[in-house]
Amino acid sequence: MSDIDIRVTGRAGRITLTRSKALNALSYDMCMAVDAALKAWAKDDAIDLVVMDAEGEKAFCAGGDIAELYQTGMSGDYDYGRRFWRDEYRMNARIFEYPKPVVSFLQGFVMGGGVGLGCHGTHRIVGDSTKIAMPEVGIGLIPDVGGTLMLALAPGRLGEYLGLTGARMTAADAIYAGFADHYIPETRWPDLISELEQTGRADLLAEAAETAPAGTLAPMYDDIGRNFGGETLTDILTALDHDDSSFADATLKTLRRNAPLSMAATVELLHRLRLGNMGIRKALELEYRFTHRAMEKGDFLEGIRAQIIDKDRQPKWQYTDGAVPATAVSQMLMPLATQTLQFEEENT
């Protein structure tokens, strides 16, 4: 496959995204190729670890390939999207639960599906160009691919802030929020990858790590906690409305561009995870409830139209005043009965 290079080099199973002109956007076939390789390597004693990287300076992976999702959805075919998300989520869980170290080198944009691919492993390496984000609420979706688990585990209320604003994290921010492990200057990555291939030793990464240049999240911790601690989206918007700080003004401007239903559901998902089972499978199962309905009942197709297809940046969201009824959130997150996301394949 020309979009991805999967091979074995020395002691390492190697996955390189080679679709740099498309910012290494993740297609369905690429997801399935990764999943198949991971299955095969898990039981191969000649492979000590998995190393993921990507060609091009701009992005490790800027997200999922949503053009086909849009085309099929607009034709009334929701099954393609549901299959894409279902199988992608199974691949995300496989990475998170993998029995061997999974190392990812995350340059440039790492967004959406790129987070699901690159940020669930054991050794997540970031550099000066890294920009990690979960911006899905801007297109009428939710932070998915296991992103809700990472957001729920982030310190304080950083998860709500990152999930509702889609803010981009630098290397230091990503480490602080729990999306990355080590900062290593990118000039050193090729030699490190060669060492990993030759030795199969993931522990050498910690020895190579340096202190990342200061980020912006930590200084905002108190502002975020003061405004994002509410039970619902309405609580958060009310807090920001009553805060006369420059932080609140800038944040409100960002939130007003995003899909209210998606933001309200994101808040609910993070709260449910913190109160219950914080596992990857539970997070993905809850996310799938929303994405399964996103085309038919949510704002996803309208979000893609406005941001990607027509590029008018004028989406016509549901609940434009930001007052999302609790029943609307509940309907998007209701159990799916026979369509519930299953993980039986994880054991094969």
Using alpha carbons only, give the angle 170, 133, 113 rounded to the nearest 5 degrees.
130
Report the DSSP beta bridge partners of residue 240.
Answer: none
Residue 169 token pair: 């994290």
* Chain position carrying tokens 């390496």: 125
Give the sign of the dihedral formed by CA 325, CA 231, CA 146, CA 313.
Answer: positive
Q: Over the range 111-133, which residues count as b (16 or more CB within 10 Å of their CB) and which as e?
A: bbbbbbbbbbbbbbbbbebbbbb
* 4-133+170-208 and 218-347, same CATH topology: yes
pLDDT for the residue 345:
53
End-to-end CA distance of the chain: 24
pLDDT for the residue 67:
81
Could you tell me which of 136, 108, 132, 131 has the C-alpha nearest to residue 120?
132
pLDDT for the residue 1:
60
pLDDT for the residue 347:
42
Residue 97 token pair: 């639960």
Q: What is the CATH number of domain 218-347?
A: 3.90.226.10
pLDDT for the residue 125:
98
Give the β-pairing of 109-111 and 59-61: parallel
* Chain position carrying tokens 């296991």: 146
Q: What is the CATH number of domain 4-133+170-208?
A: 3.90.226.10
Q: How far is the C-alpha of 225 from the C-alpha of 242, rounded, in Å? A: 14
Residue-wise pLDDT tens for the chain (348 aa)? 689 999 999 999 999 999 999 999 999 999 999 999 999 999 999 999 999 999 999 999 999 888 888 999 999 999 999 999 999 999 999 999 999 999 999 999 999 999 999 999 999 999 999 999 999 999 999 999 999 999 999 999 999 999 999 999 999 999 999 999 999 999 999 999 999 999 999 999 999 999 999 999 999 999 999 999 999 999 999 999 999 999 999 999 999 999 999 999 999 999 999 997 789 999 999 999 999 999 999 999 999 999 989 999 999 999 988 889 999 999 999 999 999 999 975 444
Is residue 151 a contact partner of residue 160, using CB atoms and an 8 Å limit? yes
pLDDT for the residue 68:
82
Q: Where are the domains of the chain?
A: 4-133+170-208, 218-347
The residues, any chain, with a CB within 8 Å of residue 318's CB and separated by 6 or more, are: 259, 260, 261, 298, 299, 328
